[in-house]
Structure 1
């Protein structure tokens, strides 16, 4: 169903959601930094049990406010009644907030510790994202650095309370976070490159706090940890529903991913034979391509130039064929990641689009080369038409999307599924016709499917594909190594990510399936590709079943 920009006035529900966001950033200043709201960059939450309780209490108040507003909606067509946008907002909001409260009641917030999405990374990433241009900016950085000891002290209180209830992260996750804390507390720390004098008291204070955190994790928490990476079916099903926005048949998804993986491997084998010889294996082909200088990026300057050119070319294809890019969305900066973690990541623009979206990339410590044949697909996944176009388009819809919907809320299946669909879309427009690039695209597909299989396989303790035993981390690492061209350092990071972030990894493929099914249904009803993309992205993030109802005009 085609919708134009309405230019509607903000409703009472929009105002309620906006008040909620402003209360959230008071409680969680790192959120303010992430979405670009000023006034909180000098602050830092303490991640204590009291902090999590306050967050939950504010969510309960929001749900009560929404219910009260909805109770006042009737058939009289008063200006206070919910319009269609409000009804959609209420559906999305209730879905997420009930899940957030369930997480809190289960103690998932207290026990949060992994290598990618827990308080250590939230603090680190907020410091990296802060503005660092004016003297006031640098004063804010220094002030936030002085808050790190209290933040980590509160975090230890939460982890200790969770541990008293038997909820402790595994040795794998604790070891990964210890390494991250030691890097932040040691010589050459990224904290020394934030614009504040490296020898200053704020930097020294924060570094010392991370060193103390590493020691506490090692001496106090690690002895209580398990080596078993599986979280079990009950917890995994709960976390899977949080990330996907709906229940899925995990066993069917696992078998589907295995079937699709076999298809992709067959496609790679055929392609490799056409490129080299009948006897060349897929991994031998990877090595041959890595030896070709034309695909090699050896310096940060080369990497930045290639990223910028790739983004520019992608925009040209999109605007010509299948997107109407709103004003402000076309700006996407490329930068070198100061954390030198390796790989590509993305940070969305600020809510006002003044701070642009940014692709961050760097070569991991010990690596001195990247290969474009393998990495191009990641530009499309993270940047254009992937995460950036999706996030920035939602931010441009200020008339229909309130602050919470356009800048705060995300659904993993929607967002990650779109990013994988974005890779597929660029393939449809000929970007992977060169055999080497096609092999890289197939490798990306293969890894995404392997993620699904590893995540479900380990956490549900399923039989291994070769039927020789039950999935564990050792088998999972070998399986990943067999199914990707990534270097060993990134394979290790990815494995730790799946083990410590259960339920998230399948979001790409599950969401991708849903996006393709929705596109087929929309095209079947006469929508052009451009109309489908414009309509879907301007609605913002939401569970995929709700998005399908909106696009296809079905009643909830």
Structure 2
């Protein structure tokens, strides 16, 4: 992408999309933090049933507006297609009761009310005042959220008991005097300067208020929701189809995808076994892993060493790939690698602000008790989260103001983003960055896990027959199945399976998204023949932005139908 892009004139379709962004900023003030927009810094959305209904009313209005406007070019056609898809899905999920059962271990208001603090600026006294304000507003947001979950109890629409129990444990940590809020308030400084006593007092009282709000959540989960939560983890086909559609931005045949997942898992296992024998002649995968785990040159000790290695690896990839493979704007080249303040597990990426004043950030939430890290396992993760993975894809879209309206630059689906990131891992192998068999084994370890998740996630939630035909899938079976397909700590396996059980459809979106990305590339190569240019294909695809995968398919055709 050139730094000298000529701006595309705004259209009526762009105006509708921009209006929807403004509506979202009004409905969800937290969204301002993600975009780096000033005003309402300490406010939360209204999580109550009344607030949810108000948001859905605005969604219906926006859907009618985008359907009524005419596309004037192919950019508009993509915007219309994808915004209609997202708005209609939001309505469909609301009507299916997703708001009433929105509780899981990783991506529900139970986590999001706290997580927003990770992205709030903390450089000035005013910044810390905003933090204190948000702490004081958290109890109101929590009360609205609990009211919505109570609505689910009344409607017989509740999450499984496993999610309730796990979130209760998380909330207890937030409620503790040693928890996040008290630590945040206790460590507050504006640069090297002490904060005014009034701000310190606001932070301390805000920390107490937020911790008490999480204690209230614990009480509600224990005394009310747990009494009504079902034992069965499966959500069933109807809810799963909606969830899958949301994460992919595409409709797939779930039964065919399950069978494909079984075959893909077998292929990953065979590839791993072949590379294991390269690492140590005659070795099994486990023996090769034991051999690598005993190599002190491939180990990092402590989170400080992990953070430094992540940053150095990322910086090197950005510098080299920007010379040879991708046109990366200067503002996109900056990526910060961070250790997350939580210890829940997981690695994730957060977008840069719209003006890049906050860069893209790669976060590693290291589980409690984990102090050693193996570089051969994690090298591909840095490429997945950074460049050419999430950061290149999302940072490029945010940068592309010349062609894309604000909504298009910040929209996206898990299947598009995570599918690209897995595609990027394979690309780095093709470019020679994983020539070391150990690093390739690490990449395949991740790819095998993602293939296993397709089988596990669809299998559990649709209660399909196990691959060996011995009976139906259950949540309990899933722990052993994943443990047999990843060489990770028991803590990692436990967190991951609990995540899949409570967040249906998200985990398969990685591998299914990769499958769709590879299909689109192969179709383009077949269509263009000798004229196919992989670098040009990547640029064209990334310039579209983070759309749903069905929209991406249409947009990559020679011409989008208006």
Asked if 1:282 corresponds to 2:282, the answer is no
- TM-superposed CA distance for 1:220, in Å, is 0.6
- TM-superposed CA distance for 1:396, in Å, is 0.8
- TM-superposed CA distance for 1:271, in Å, is 2.1
- TM-superposed CA distance for 1:277, in Å, is 4.5
- TM-superposed CA distance for 1:61, in Å, is 1.3
- TM-superposed CA distance for 1:175, in Å, is 1.1
- TM-superposed CA distance for 1:362, in Å, is 4.4
Aligned partner of 2:193 in structure 1 is: none
Aligned partner of 2:222 in structure 1 is: 218
Secondary structure of 1:540's match? coil
Asked if 1:95 corresponds to 2:85, the answer is yes
Q: Which residue among 172, 186, 194 is the counterpart of 2:176?
A: 186
Aligned partner of 1:356 in structure 2 is: 359
Secondary structure of 1:552's match? coil
1: CA distance, partners of 2:489 / 2:446: 14
Farther off after superposition, 518-527 or 461-470: 518-527
Please give the per-residue CA displacement for 1:222-260, whole angstroms capped at 9, x wherever unaligned. 010111011112221222122222221111111111111
- TM-superposed CA distance for 1:337, in Å, is 0.9
Aligned partner of 1:16 in structure 2 is: 16
TM-score of the two chains, using structure 2 as the length reference: 0.93
2: CA distance, partners of 1:16 / 1:411: 20
Aligned partner of 1:78 in structure 2 is: none
Please give the per-residue CA displacement for 1:409-441, whole angstroms capped at 9, x wherever unaligned. 212211111011011111111122112111111
CA contact (8 A) 1:33 1:40 kept: no
Farther off after superposition, 389-398 or 311-320: 311-320
Aligned partner of 2:322 in structure 1 is: 319
Please give the per-residue CA displacement for 1:291-324, whole angstroms capped at 9, x wherever unaligned. 2211111122211221111112222342233211
Asked if 1:534 corresponds to 2:539, the answer is yes
Secondary structure of 1:328's match? helix
2: CA distance, partners of 1:507 / 1:406: 21
CA contact (8 A) 1:168 1:225 kept: yes
Aligned partner of 2:191 in structure 1 is: none
Task: State the superposition RMSD in angstroms.
Answer: 1.8
1:129-278 equivalences under 5 Å are: 129-195=119-185, 196=188, 197=200, 200-278=204-282
2: CA distance, partners of 1:384 / 1:511: 18
1: CA distance, partners of 2:53 / 2:125: 35
> Unpaired segments of 5 or more residues in structure 2?
189-199
CA contact (8 A) 1:145 1:202 kept: yes
Aligned partner of 1:413 in structure 2 is: 415
1: CA distance, partners of 2:37 / 2:55: 18
CA contact (8 A) 1:10 1:399 kept: no
Q: Relative to structure 1, is the Cα distance of residues 497 and 342 closer, same or farther in structure 2, using a 3 angstrom cutoff?
A: closer
Secondary structure of 2:347's match? strand
Q: Which residue among 511, 519, 527 is the counterpart of 1:517?
A: 519
TM-score of the two chains, using structure 1 as the length reference: 0.94
Deviation beyond 6 Å, 4+ runs, structure 1 = none
CA contact (8 A) 1:191 1:203 kept: yes
1:331-480 equivalences under 5 Å are: 331-407=334-410, 409-480=411-482
- TM-superposed CA distance for 1:103, in Å, is 0.8
- TM-superposed CA distance for 1:345, in Å, is 1.5
Secondary structure of 2:338's match? strand
Aligned residue pairs, count: 542
CA contact (8 A) 2:524 2:532 kept: yes
2: CA distance, partners of 1:478 / 1:283: 16
Secondary structure of 2:327's match? coil
Asked if 1:297 corresponds to 2:300, the answer is yes
1: CA distance, partners of 2:470 / 2:521: 40
Please give the per-residue CA displacement for 1:20-78, whole angstroms capped at 9, x wherever unaligned. 212212211122212222212211123101111111111111122223333xxxxxxxx
Q: Which residue among 101, 107, 111 is the counterpart of 1:121?
A: 111
Please give the per-residue CA displacement for 1:156-193, whole angstroms capped at 9, x wherever unaligned. 11001111111011111111111111111113212123
CA contact (8 A) 1:264 1:445 kept: yes
1: CA distance, partners of 2:409 / 2:558: 22
CA contact (8 A) 1:346 1:388 kept: yes
> Unpaired segments of 5 or more residues in structure 1?
71-80
Aligned partner of 1:550 in structure 2 is: 555
2: CA distance, partners of 1:248 / 1:343: 27
Secondary structure of 2:362's match? strand
2: CA distance, partners of 1:298 / 1:6: 48
Q: Relative to structure 1, is the Cα distance of residues 363 and 244 closer, same or farther in structure 2, using a 3 angstrom cutoff?
A: closer
Please give the per-residue CA displacement for 1:326-357, whole angstroms capped at 9, x wherever unaligned. 23111101122111334422111001111100
